[in-house]
Each structure stands twice: as C-alpha cells, then as structure tokens.
C-alpha cells in the first residue's frame, strides 16, 4: 500500500504507528496493564504532540526531497524529542529511589525512540516508498486534442 506523499499524511502515519508501538512497549516495560492504561496516554501525549508538530514542520520543509532524506529528518526529530523529553517527565509516584526513577524514565524515553525509529521505517519503507513506475491515477493525457479542426 502506498499513501499520497504529503506532510500531514506522513506526520499522521508516524504518530499513529509510534503511539501503538509506544503503548505496546510500555506494557512490556512495566508489565502492568492497569498502569499503562492509566498513565500511557499521558506519557504518549507528552512525547508525541511535540514530535507530531516537529514531524509536520520538517516534512513540510523536506516535502520535495527523497524518501530517505525525509526518513532521516523524522528520525532526527524522534531522537531530539527523546533526548529532551526526559526533562519533561516526573518520576512515577510509586518510586521513592531517585536512581530507580531515572532508570524508569530512561526506559520510557528509549521506548519512545525505538517506537519512532520503527514507525519511521514502516512509514517511509512501506507506506511512502518511491514508485518505480509512474502513478497511473494521475491524468497525463491532454484534455484538448492537439489537432485543429479543418475549416471548410
């Protein structure tokens, strides 16, 4: 399946796939479905909304570039949000030890980074890949015939 290449579609596909993978990764990390259902959407919003905006901005800036360039720009945004997203997070309330809280936050940020990397691979590798042949849905024939009418 190939999607139309536009900045909004690319950013939306990245966000949707990343959110699913991020929540699945949280279930694996925490092992507690109840905790993930309570805190997962908040963590996803905290990391994915800034990422979505930056994915959209960089997709708009690189809309005429190759798919590999757009993939690298989305990967850069993911890494930047993962790096600075740790500063936005508070340690979970059930953890009193500071070092354990740092480990939990690091796991969450690493989960986001890996989810974004896999989502970028899926989006730009499968959904937005460059076509070898021209798109048949585009109208390439002239609308008006090139021959003039003969006058009598």
Who's near 139: CB < 8 A, 6+ residues apart? none
Question: What does the domain layout of the chain look like in residue ranges?
Answer: 7-127
pLDDT beyond 60 at 141: no
pLDDT-derived band at 9, boundaries 50, 70, 90: confident
Other beta carbons within 10 angstroms of residue 100's beta carbon come to 12
Q: What is the pLDDT of residues 68-103, one digit of tens each?
A: 888 899 999 999 999 888 887 776 666 678 788 788
Between 18 and 66, the higher pLDDT residue: 18
């Amino acid at each position: 399946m190939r999607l139309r290449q536009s900045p909004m579609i690319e950013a939306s596909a990245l966000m949707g796939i990343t959110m699913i993978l991020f929540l699945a990764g949280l279930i694996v990390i925490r092992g507690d479905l109840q905790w993930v259902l309570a805190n997962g959407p908040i963590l996803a919003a905290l990391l994915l909304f800034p990422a979505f905006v930056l994915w959209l901005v960089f997709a708009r800036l690189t809309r005429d570039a190759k798919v590999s360039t757009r993939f690298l720009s989305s990967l850069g945004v993911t890494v930047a949000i993962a790096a600075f997203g740790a500063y936005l997070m508070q340690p979970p309330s059930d953890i009193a030890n500071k070092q354990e809280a740092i480990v939990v936050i690091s796991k969450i940020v690493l989960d986001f980074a890996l989810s974004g990397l896999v989502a970028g691979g899926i989006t730009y590798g499968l959904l937005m890949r460059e076509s070898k042949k021209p798109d048949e849905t585009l109208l390439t024939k002239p609308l008006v015939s090139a021959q003039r009418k003969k006058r009598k």
